[in-house]
Amino acid sequence: MFQIYFSQNPEFGLKELSQIAQVIIAIANLGLGYYVFIYSRGKDQRSEKHSSNLYEQNIRLQWFKELVLQPNQITIKRYFDNLEKLQDLINPNKLDSQDRQNLSLYIKTETAYYRKNFVDLLKGIDQQLANDVKENMDNLFDSLTKSLFDPNINLKNSITYEKEIQSKIASSYNNLISLIYNYKGLNAR
């Protein structure tokens, strides 16, 4: 096809063809330059936004640590330490229904204090974290209460107590530490 055109237009030669090729290359370079500019600008904006998000996340985590965790370490420790004292409250001679109710009331009182002074505070920080910590607390409370009122469980036996009470307290404490450790500070209210 080009041969027919060239044979009919003898003034159209290699010089003209190279000029057309230069124009095509210039247009392609211009398009490529525009693409690189847009891509780089978008990448810079994403990078800047990512850096800004990391900065905000670090600030949230620092405030979480200083305003929530450090002041409430005593509350957390008190709660789990007092639950571990249950064994000292169990009468070695008898464990009747009144004793079980008193132990349940003790657990309920400690849990209410813990919820009011720590768990409820988390609602203002991160609702999901608050829900997870509350669920951990509720599961421990339910599990301990169930073990307390099960007549087939002899809590005076140290091995049974370890299995039914102490291991559940330790597991709940470890779960709480995991929840706090895995909190990333990403969710704002």
pLDDT in tens, 131-153: 999 999 999 999 999 998 888 88
Rounded to whole angstroms, the Cα distance separating 160 from 166 reads 9
Domain boundaries, the chain: 61-181
User: Pick the residue with more confidence: 86 or 174?
Assistant: 174
The confidence score (pLDDT) of residue 7 equals 55
**Tokens at 81, concatenated:** 């330490």
pLDDT class of 189 with cuts at 50, 70, 90? very low
The larger pLDDT score, comparing residue 94 to residue 189, is at 94
Residue 185, number of CB atoms within 10 A of its CB:
18
Instruction: Dihedral sign for Cα 64, 65, 66, 71, please.
Output: positive
Per cent of the chain over pLDDT 90 is 44
Distance CA 149, CA 147 (A): 6
The third-level CATH classification (topology) of the domain covering 61-181 is Four Helix Bundle (Hemerythrin (Met), subunit A) (1.20.120)
For the entire predicted model, the pTM comes to: 0.71
Contacts of the segment 125-133: beta carbons below 8 A, 24+ positions apart: 125/64, 125/68, 125/189, 126/183, 126/185, 126/187, 126/189, 127/187, 127/189, 128/187, 129/179, 129/183, 129/187, 132/179, 133/176, 133/179
pLDDT greater than 60 at residue 104: yes
| Percentages of the chain per state (helix, strand, coil), in multiples of 5 | 80, 0, 20
Q: Averaged over 149-162, what is the pLDDT?
A: 87
Mean pLDDT over each residue of the chain, to the nearest integer: 87
Least confident of 47-51, 56-60, 90-94, 122-126: 90-94
